[in-house]
Amino acid sequence: MAFLTGLAIDSRRLRIGSSRCEPRRRVAVHAKVMQALIFDCDGVLADTERDAHRVAFNLAFEENELNTVWSESRYGKLLEVGGGKERMTAHFNEVGWPEGYTTEESQQELVKKLHLRKTELFGKLISEGKIPLRPGVQSLADSASKKGLPIAVCSTSNEKAVAQIVTMMGPELASSIAIFAGDIVPKKKPSPDIYNLATEKLNLDPAATVVIEDSYIGLQAAKDAGMNCVVTKSTYTLDEDFARADRVVDDLDSGAVTLESLEALVSNE
C-alpha cells in the first residue's frame, strides 16, 4: 500500500510544471510514537519545598526552641532568597534575631548549626518516605511501566535525595527508572543540559519524549532540548510563565494526564 502511495506521489510530482496543475494532496507522514516519559523531581514527584524543606527547617527551629514556624506563605516569600543559610539570615534580619544572638559572628554560627541539622532532618524525612507523592504520579508511572515505556527522572538537585524520592514509587518500579541527577552536567536548569544528556544516554528522539515539569526554568530546559512538556503547577510555581508548555494542569490527577493523552500529544505534533 505504501509502495502504491509512493508511486502516486511520484507521478503527481512528475506533472509539476505541466499544463495540468493539481494541488498536492497532503500525504500522511508517520505519526511519532512516544519513546519515553521523563519526570522532574522537586515539585513534580513530590512538593518537596513545601512538604520536605520547609518542614525540616521548622523541625530544626523547634529542636532549638526558637519559637519560629514558617507557614506555607511565609516560606513562599522566603524562597525569593536562594540558599538555606541565606534564607534564615534574611528571615531573622527581618523579624529580629533570637535572644542572645547579638553579634554577627554568633548569628552566623546559629545559622550554620541550624542548616546542618535541617539538612539531616530533610534526609530523614525523605529516607523514611514521609513526603507524599503528588496526585497522579504513581498511576502515570505505573501505566508507562506496564507498557514497557522507558521512564527517567531528570533533576539537578542532590542525587541521593532524588533517588530516595524515586524509591517512594515502589522498589520494583524505582529500579527500572533511569535517574539523571546532581552535578552530572555543567549547567543546571534552565540549561537543557540534563535533558540533552538523557536524550543521548537513552538514545531518544526528543520530539517523541514527554517531560513533566513544574517550574518556568524546568520548562525552558525541556523545550530547549526539543521535548514536549506538560506543566503540573506546584505550590510555589503557581504564578510562573508557562506559555511554552504543551499543557498546563494543577496536578496530574485533576488534569487527567494519562499515558494515552501524552501519547496523543506526541503523535499530533
Tell the smallest beta-carbon distance from residue 40 to Mg ion (Å): 4
Q: Which is nearer to Mg ion, 55 or 114 (CB)?
A: 55
In angstroms, give the least distance from the CB of 125 to Mg ion.
18
| First vs last C-alpha separation in the chain | 24
Tell me phi and psi for residue 129, to 5 degrees. Answer: 65, 30
Whole-angstrom distance, CA of residue 47 vs CA of residue 237: 11
Contact 181, 41 (CB under 8 A): yes
Nearer to Mg ion, 40 or 263 (CB): 40
Q: What residues numbered 36-55 form the site for Mg ion, per CB under 5 A?
A: 40, 42-43
How far apart are alpha carbons 67 and 127 in whole angstroms? 27
Give the span between the Cα atoms of 216 and 193, in whole angstroms.
Answer: 16
Output the nine-digit C-alpha cell for 139.
Answer: 498511576
Contacts of 103 (CB under 8 A, 6+ apart): none
Q: How far is the CB of 35 from Mg ion (least distance, A)?
A: 22
Q: Which is nearer to Mg ion, 60 or 154 (CB)?
A: 154
Shortest Å distance, C-beta 216 to Mg ion? 10
- # binding residues, Mg ion (CB under 5 A): 6
All residues at 6 or more sequence positions from 152 whose CB lies less than 8 Å from its CB, including other chains? 36, 37, 38, 39, 177, 178, 179, 180, 198, 202
Is residue 142 part of the annotated active site? The answer reads no
Question: Which window, 124-132, 193-201, 206-214, 246-254, contacts Mg ion (CB under 5 A)?
Answer: 206-214
The pattern of x and - marking residues 234 through 263 that bind Mg ion according to CB under 5 A reads: ------------------------------
Which CB, 193 or 214, lies closer to Mg ion?
Answer: 214
Of 99-107, 135-143, 178-186, 210-218, the segment contacting Mg ion by CB under 5 A is 210-218
The one-letter amino acid at 93? N
Which residue's CB atom is positioned nearest to Mg ion? 43
Nine-digit cell string for 238 = 503557581
**Distance in Å, CB of 256 to Mg ion, minimum:** 21
**Near Mg ion by CB under 5 A: residue from 214, 227, 231, 266:** 214
* CA separation for the pair 237, 220 (Å, rounded): 14
- Per CB under 5 A, which region of 102-110, 130-138, 209-217, 240-248 contacts Mg ion? 209-217
Helices and strands (H and E) in the chain: how many: 12, 6
Catalytic residue at 183? Answer: no
Q: CB-wise, 97 or 122, nearer to Mg ion?
A: 122
Question: Considering only residues 12-41, where is the footprint of Mg ion by CB under 5 A?
Answer: 40
- Determine which one of 10, 42, 193, 205 is catalytic: 42
The DSSP result for 168-232, as a single string, is TT-HHHHHTSEEEESSSSSS-TTSTHHHHHHHHHTT--GGGEEEEE-SHHHHHHHHHTT-EEEEE
Q: Which of 145, 209, 215, 220 binds Mg ion (CB under 5 A)?
A: 215
Kindly list the residues in this chain that would bind Mg ion in the complex (CB under 5 A): 40, 42-43, 214-215, 218
List active site positions: 40, 42
